[in-house]
Amino acid sequence: MRQNTLVRAALSMAASKKAKQLRNRLAGSAMFLLTVAISTAPAQTFTPLHDFTGGTDGAFPQAALIRDAAGNLFGTTTSGGIGDGTVFKIDSTGKETILFAFDAFVSGINPTSALIQDLAGNLYGIADGGPGGSGVVYKLSQQGQQELLFAFQGGLTNRNPKVPTGGLFMDDSGDIFGTTLFGGPGNCQLGCGTVYRLDQAGKLQVLYQFTGGADGNQPFGPLVHDADGNLYGVAQAGGNLACPEAPRTGCGTIFKLSKNGGFKVLHTFEGGLDGAAPRAGLFRDASGNLYGSTAEGGSTNSGTLFKIATDGTYGILHQFGRKEGIAPNGALISDEAGNLYGTAQLGGAHNLGTVFELSLDGQLKVLHAFRGGFDGATPFAGVIRDAEGHLYGTAVKNSLIQTIQGGSAFRITP
């Protein structure tokens, strides 16, 4: 327990101001299962699916949802349950069921990243805490039975990989890939972060250790891959250590880790109009182009959307105005036509966040501006999309944001 306390204190000191802002615990509200949809734009409706009470049903959903073939939604809350977070299911009728409640020192705490699901329906995720004090990778059966696949070991003096972040990716063989915020021999207080692979036997192999210099520091978003087994990701700091947005710590990088272990920086953020602090995972289209967002930078320092073409060219797709959104932290998705969808944590008409669409011609449309009523407020994660074009997401505040901690899950119908 003492080790866990020391590690958390050190992580709090080591994390950048930007990372701390990302993890702020925000107030929420009471539980409602609403059938009345809130109009957001012509031919679009916003429907709250569940309001979290902050009790046994969970609180603060900070991760994106996933959806199975039957239309069930699965996600996590960073608090609630028995106090340390939950894994939940919302079925097609809107009924919420808690599949698992975390216990900090046994099974983990504060699951902030999206789940993944295998063909058998088992869920996989990451959480802080656990028996090693520095995070876990876990598997959860359909019946809610948790199996710890790996427990990261903490400590202030060792450089073990610690604090898994950003979510997981599973390849066709069942091996799991992810990143840790700290660890490795880099020039950072607790190490500058790692990329790892966890095989089916539970053996963890560190694939890359960040130095905190030109390669990056604190890899944050989930990894994506290509058909050749190359991995792509972002580091929220490092790179140019003299950038104006984050002098001494750096504004972040985009990287590629090849199957044979070769590491390449695809882009170094310079701050300003170029963007800074990429905290969401990348999206890779069928042609191999990469898309992502920065939480800072741009013309109003509200964030940017960017593209890296297959030839390596970096381009800004959009710089946010404050009425469009501030701090796009969630991963982007695309529809069949190539339009991009995402969320901004703040900004919009009520400064409580937005859901947006970016068309192929670069026009951004706010699909919903959160107002802090029945629709909730402050989406930390991105949205997902079904075959009919409905968007699903979460927000960390809901309708009684001043009094009760909670959060909400929602659907936007085109």
pLDDT in tens, 179-206: 999 999 888 989 999 999 999 999 999 9
pLDDT of residue 246: 84
Task: Kindly list the domain boundaries of the chain, sorted by start residue.
Answer: 2-413
Which one of 3.90.78.10, 2.130.10.10, 1.10.287.3510, 3.30.428.10 gives the CATH number of domain 2-413? 2.130.10.10
Contact 341, 381 (CB under 8 A): no
Contact 259, 288 (CB under 8 A): no
Q: Pick the closest to residue 407 from 49, 37, 21 (CA basis).
A: 49
Q: Give the chain's residues under pLDDT 70.
A: 1-43, 399-405
Rounded to whole angstroms, the Cα distance separating 399 from 248 reads 40
pLDDT tens, position by position, 308-365: 999 999 999 999 999 999 999 899 999 999 999 999 999 999 999 999 999 999 999 9
Contact 176, 149 (CB under 8 A): yes
Contact 394, 353 (CB under 8 A): no
Q: Residues with Cβ < 8 Å from 199, sequence gap 6 or more?
A: 175, 205
